[in-house]
Amino acid sequence: MNSVLLVWVGRRAPVGLEELAAEYAKRISRHLTLAEVRVRPAAGRQGDVRRALAEEAAAVRKHLHSGDTVVVLDERGRERTTEELARWLSERRHLGRTVFVIGSDLGVDLSLKKQASELFALSRLTLPHALARLLLLEQLYRASDLLAGGQYHRGFSG
């Protein structure tokens, strides 16, 4: 399967969330190559939100390569079921790296959203980035385990 990079902007989460994130990252590594990069939020964020978002987007772009499929998490993006996510990941098996981007508490710069191949919604709710990261990691594990024939995902069969 292709490799996945998760780039997220923010501060580290409380210990319990970090431990869960590490556990899902470890589980994901059984099925696909996963790397994570944390980008620090821009300094002086209270003064000029647009400047801060532009700085954060520039820091994220440093980790992007030509040919990457960039997916920005956004509550207005496309929602997928776990099965749909698994199919989408399967279709990407030999197409290069997929990069998921989670913005800071300020969001994601519009230019980075426009650069993305897709906006993806975990939920229509606005989520704190630490929780969005944990949910994304869990869903990536669930989808990759489903593709591998694992038993983690039970789904709805009624």
Q: What are phi and psi of 56, to 5 degrees?
A: -65, -40
Please provide the DSSP assignment of 123-147 as one string: -SS---HHHHHHHHHHHHHHHHHHH
Instruction: Give phi and psi for 60, each to the nearest 5.
Output: -65, -45
Distance of CA 35 to the CA centre of its chain: 11
* Architecture (CATH level 2) of domain 4-147: 3-Layer(aba) Sandwich (3.40)
Q: What is the per-residue pLDDT across 23-76, written as a single tens digit (0 to 9) for each?
A: 999 999 999 999 999 999 998 777 899 999 999 999 999 999 999 999 999 999
Residue spans per domain, the chain: 4-147
**pTM recorded for the entire structure:** 0.93
